[in-house]
A and B are shown apart, each in its own frame.
Chain A
Amino acid sequence: MNHLIKLIMVLFSLLLLTSCYDKVELEQQSYVIAIGIDKNEDKSTYSFTFQIANPEVGSTLASAGSTEEAKETITVPGSDILTATSIANSTVTKKIVLDHTKVIVASEKLAKSDDFLRIIQSISRAPQIRGNVQIIVCKEDASEFLNNNHPTMEQRPHKYYQYMLQRGRQTGLIPNADFHRFFQITEGDADLFLAIYATTIKEKAKEHSIIGGHDYIAGQIPQKGGNPTQFIGSAVFKEGKMIDIFSGQETRMSNVLDKTIQMNDLLTTYPDPIDPNYQVSVDYVQKTEPNVDIQYNKKTNHASIYVTVPFEVELIAIPSMVDYISNKDNQQKLRATIEETTENIANKLIEKSQKVYGSDPFYWSLYIRKKFKDIPAYEKADWNKNIYPNATINVDFQLKRMSFGKMFNDSKINEVRD
């Protein structure tokens, strides 16, 4: 009998597990995946666009009869994100939950204004928004971007953003732009932050000679078919304000030179040194971090920065059919071209960052910190106003190894066409 009473009491204690005030059913929540922010004409309000996922779509159980859309996108005005969610509830049936937000999309207009930092700061105060939310800057209005984005394969928005950005980061064409990094760099007040650049509006195809083949920014790729949304390049932020746009190639280079970013899949092309009509395609592999060595003179506040980047390449296509495999001289030429071209791109980017931006997108201020005893001295020396713009920078790309894929030799085109 005694046991029975105990058992009943234990069973009743299970009721406590439902928790009291914060109890909310899964069904009663709307999961926001993407938040878009636009600037209104009126100074103190913004337009917030919430893209809400429909959990029913894509699950095997409900897919049979359901004809519901995969997502719902609504735009409401508001002064900050949390109050906007309550306004949005006038059309959205359920409680809006931001815990699963994957991306925050800001329009270029907002990013370039002083208000960007203000609004982002207020977002970070909410415990629901996590440090790993990615920041995207789009060319058009954020609401337009989110409404135009119609992926055909990954219809469920959370999967779409997850895969799209993951793959983009692997190829290095977009930066790693999470909230956490944004605040570390912006508050550190020394380096440039790169946000993902994207658009759904197609520009006229850019007329340019293909050097490296990734010198595009979003909207410039002459793509046909598929989803019009392009993610390539990055928006450059200085002190929490957007100042410029990097192309895919420049973004890649900043990622290569930044030791805090990892990427693993760089396919790129170099001009063929023997037959300039063609390009050589290679797989660029960087196994170790770039080595940044800073010599700093305290008296003159001058720094000399020596960067060595060891890398490997694997040749994947030689359309010119020049023999680079057995011919040592040709190989030597190709090596020289690859190193030189990469160094040129890097030097151009560094020069631009020194002269135009006065700060670096490579997070190199980390290396100079060792030279100072305490933070007041470090802040006084002022990396982004004094040290970096006047620094002597020397970049050396060292091609350590070249491999040739699974084919030993290409077919001899002359003999084939004989």
Chain B
Amino acid sequence: MNPNRMLKAGEMFTLLFILLSLKATDATASLFTQKTQNAFWYMPIISLLVILPSLLLLLHLLKKYQDKNLIELIETIMGSLVSKIIGLIIFLSSFLLMGFSYRGYVEQINFLYFPETPYVILSLIFFTIVYFAAKKGWEVIGFTTKIFLPFFVLSSVILIILILNDLVIERVFPIFGSGDIIVLREGALKGSIFIELFLITIAYTSFKKTDFFRKGFVLGLIFSIISIICFFFIYATTFDYNSIAKMSYPFHDITQYVNLGGYLTNIETFFMIFWLLGSFLRYAIYLYLVTWIISATFHIEHIESLLLPVGFLGLIIGVISKNLIINEFTFYNSILNYLTFFYIGFPILLWLISSLKGEYRKK
């Protein structure tokens, strides 16, 4: 119980929902479809199933040790030194992913809506907004997402209704895409697209009751999976398997395609606003979580004072990777694959050590 905390299950739900479901609108879909063709729409389920045991184990441990967040939990079980190493790995991996995906988002805005504006300027503006949003603190982010969520959901529903007429359900067949083995393997390797689920456990103790965290966590996970699958299904049925593979931003292709009757034809900016607000919030959450992890690892009191350096370095990663494109897509792809093993592995390790320790204590 933390009576002085304000956040409840509703905020947890919205935080996780924004963090995860926006993945449906970025390049994740095209990343998935490269190897599995039209089977990519149900791949998130496979990815989730792969990491689910580890995730449940982690939640179980958090519940058992009570009132400890992710890093504190690792420290209690593994001791100071190992916890610093693991904390650092978690931080670095999430930091890199933040940098890369940050770049992806800014590039989408740059390419589709502000082609004349230099990338650096645009990412600086993006960064400034995200930084000020994150600086307001975890609770304000929570409330903001809660207020914003209905609008985001509404705009998505409008988009879905408008595109519904153009779906050709038969396009999901042949159901196994490029082959059942490939789909299973690729789905399993991409478990790390749900890395945010591990990151958000750093906020375990920031809710009024830890029950709220678990409740919001489960609900948020279920609903964001549904929304991701729903959007991926729409991509798979509007675009045939050859077309989707060469598309970088299927979400924006769909918003450009739909019309609101004969008079309102170019309406993509309407959806762009909500998407943009959503991605601001998503990065504010992301930045806060990443900073939280590093400050918890090294016991730094004020998270807010670290936001600026961490965020700015993330921005630099985005800019650098733009200048040294060594097929960034494959690079990102392989990082995701390696990370999956790490995130499956460390909760199991934690659990083993914790149960061994328990045995010792009994003796």
Contacts and interface: CB of A to CB of B under 8 A. Distances in A.
Contacts of A415: none
Contacts of B114: 19, 21-22
B38 interface: yes
Interface string A137-178: 000000000000000000000000010001000000000000
Interface in B164-200: 166, 168, 170-171, 173-180
B170 A367 contact: yes
B257 interface: yes
A21 B176 contact: no
A102 B117 CA distance: 27
Given A188-B242, A377-B174, A378-B174, A132 B121 contact: no
A375 B239 CA distance: 15
A167 to B, nearest CB: 11
A100 B264 CA distance: 11
Contacts of A183: 243
Given A100-B266, A130-B257, A130-B266, A366 B171 contact: yes
Contacts of A351: none
A127 B111 contact: yes
Nearest to B111: A127
A184 B243 contact: yes
Interface residues of A, number: 31
Contacts of A184: 239-240, 243
A166 B174 contact: no
Nearest to A377: B174
B240 A188 contact: yes
A375 B37 contact: yes
A20 B179 contact: no
A264 interface: no
A366 B266 contact: no
B116 interface: yes
Contacts of A132: 257, 259, 265
A166 B263 CA distance: 12
Residue of B112, B242, B262 most packed against chain A (CB within 10 A) = B242
A370 interface: yes
Interface string B138-177: 0000000000000000000000000000101011011111
Contacts of A20: 117, 121
A369 B175 CA distance: 9
B328 interface: no
B180 A374 contact: yes
A378 B172 CA distance: 13
B262 to A, nearest CB: 6
Given A132-B257, A373-B174, 11 more contacts: A19-B114, A166-B262, A180-B257, A183-B243, A366-B168, A369-B173, A370-B170, A370-B174, A372-B174, A376-B178, A377-B174
Interface of A: 19-22, 99-100, 127, 130-132, 162, 166, 180, 183-185, 187-189, 260, 366-367, 369-370, 372-378
